Amino acid sequence: MLADVLSYLVSAWCIWRIRTPEGPRPPARRGLVTGISEGLRSVAGHPTIRSLILALSSLSFALGIMNTYWTFYLLSTLQWSPTALGVVMGAGGAGSLAGALLAPRIGNLIGPGPLIITGFALTPLTELPLLLAGPGLAWQIIMAASLVVQLACAAAAGTTQRSVRQVLCEPGFQARMQSASTWLTAGSRPLAALVAGALVSVAGVRATLAVGTVLMIVPVALLLLSPIRTLRTFPTAPVPRQRPAPEEEVPCP
């Protein structure tokens, strides 16, 4: 918990150091509903941003199914101790930090598109040890290694896709684009928990985890069918959309 608090303080310090001046404020919108609809149309109309958000939301749904019973499965079925669970999760956090730090270098080396797709594609593979695991220290070590790889891939792909979306999105739609992404990804998790509960009551915990693993293939397919697969360099920022200036009134003679 102390390390988590420290991470927020470091994050606040990094944000405080940003000195890039903000652009001019956009003109006031006509209303809340109009602003939301404009933002959704902007997201839905951009093939790259749309594909990334759909991939994120489908992955979030699959992970929601997995995470609903992940801890229960390890502590109850595999009979892990709370200490073993904490050590494994801590190792995964270290992998996440490493993935975030290495993401820019890997993205420049192989391209942002291949990095994003590889990160998504490795995620279901890292869940296979969970489906095969049994009690004992050896499986705990294997699970820790797989979680390190999984969270490293998630951090590297996550920071890269977010950077791509921010570059491609027009400045006036940045907040609404991120809100649409958060709404779809976070909003899918309660539904995933309900689905997980229904699956467990019918097929059991291990089968439910297997279903979540298989569903992780869906976002990979979405990315392979999108412009992301050809993205070898970071895109350039779009030209901000110019609103038409009001016509000058001509007095009547």
Q: 24: which DSSP letter?
A: P
The rounded distance, in Å, linking the Cα atoms of 71 and 92 is: 14
CATH number of 32-228: 1.20.1250.20
CB 85 within 8 A of CB 126: no
pLDDT greater than 60 at residue 250: no
Residues in the chain: 253
Tokens 């809340």 correspond to 32
The mean pLDDT value of the chain amounts to 89
- Say what the pLDDT of residue 246 is: 45
pLDDT greater than 70 at residue 37: yes
User: What are the Cα distances from residue 65, in Å, to 169, 199, 247, 252?
Assistant: 31, 9, 55, 68
CB 51 within 8 A of CB 109: no
Q: 111: which residues sit within 8 A by CB, 6+ positions away?
A: 231, 232, 233
- Say what the pLDDT of residue 21 is: 75
In the structure encoding, which two tokens stand for residue 109, read together?
A: 């080396």
CB 184 within 8 A of CB 52: no
Lowest mean pLDDT of 119-123, 170-174, 217-221, name the range.
170-174
**Annotated domain spans of the chain:** 32-228
Report pLDDT digits (tens) over 104-134: 999 999 999 999 999 999 999 999 999 999 8
pLDDT greater than 70 at residue 8: yes
pLDDT greater than 60 at residue 162: yes
pLDDT greater than 60 at residue 241: no
The rounded distance, in Å, linking the Cα atoms of 188 and 168 is: 25
pTM for this model (two decimals): 0.84
- pLDDT class of 238 with cuts at 50, 70, 90: low
